[in-house]
Chains A and B, each alone.
Chain A
Amino acid sequence: ETGVTQSPTHLIKTRGQQVTLRCSSQSGHNTVSWYQQALGQGPQFIFQYYREEENGRGNFPPRFSGLQFPNYSSELNVNALELDDSALYLCASSWGVQGSEQYFGPGTRLTVT
């Protein structure tokens, strides 16, 4: 077990709705990265938070946003959900940002209908 937790485990939303996913990082880690993984694909980097600031972002539109809190836990918010947003959302925690080894949570499976 990595000590990284995510909630909820599963979620079903309707197109156009908004969703918030949560991640608690491993003790001692100050960085959280979020990924989207579609079936049969590798994880796609959404963004990373380091010390409560966004530090790097992948090719995702602004309706994907995030927060990191002083205890280094994090939220991923997705507005105006689209059917293609259906995927497994993974968070990973690490110590530092440059070349750090990441440890993943079990993921949240989001279904948009």
Chain B
Amino acid sequence: RKEVEQDPGPFNVPEGATVAFNCTYSNSASQSFFWYRQDCRKEPKLLMSVYSSGNEDGRFTAQLNRASQYISLLIRDSKLSDSATYLCVVNMNRDDKIIFGKGTRLHILP
């Protein structure tokens, strides 16, 4: 099993729709989780940290499920500008390793 797995997509979603991504991780000792977005040929940009209690930032909601070892990202009322690759990140604090998933490509269709 890979350390961090994401559905590569692409997800083709009409503007205004809600879309959700999941990301699974293999190491139950993982402590910190993040979502980044990456536009084509650009660097990743931090979207949000993922807290145990879940967190929301505007149209974006992140959840952590430790029992099933996955994190999720929900985007509501999607905009054309949300088109990007979404990367989940797991920080295995004990080993000081930081693992990125391969990313999920999202296309918002007008």
Interface of A toward B, CB cutoff 8 Å? 2, 33, 35, 40-45, 48, 55-58, 90, 97-107
Interface of B toward A, CB cutoff 8 Å? 31-32, 34, 42-46, 49, 87, 91, 93, 95-103
Contacts of B93 in A (CB 8 A): 98-99
9 contacts between A and B (CB under 8 A): A33-B98, A43-B44, A45-B97, A45-B99, A48-B96, A55-B96, A56-B95, A98-B93, A106-B43
Contacts of A106 in B (CB 8 A): 42-43
Please indicate which of the listed interface residues A2, A48, A102, A106 has the most CB atoms of chain B within 10 Å of its own CB. A102
Partner of A103, one of B32, B46, B101: B46
Contacts of A104 in B (CB 8 A): 43-45
Contacts of B99 in A (CB 8 A): 45
Partner of B32, one of A33, A41, A98: A98
Q: Bound state CA distance, A35 and B102, in angstroms?
A: 13
A47 (CB) vs chain B CBs: closest residue: B96
Contacts of B45 in A (CB 8 A): 2, 104
* B102 in contact with A105 (CB, 8 Å): no
Given contacts A43-B44, A106-B43, A107-B43, contact A101 B49 (CB under 8 A): yes
* B100 in contact with A44 (CB, 8 Å): yes
Contacts of A45 in B (CB 8 A): 97-100
Distance (Å) between the CB of B36 and the closest chain A CB?
A: 8
* B44 in contact with A90 (CB, 8 Å): yes
Please indicate which of the listed interface residues B31, B44, B99, B102 has the most CB atoms of chain A within 10 Å of its own CB. B44
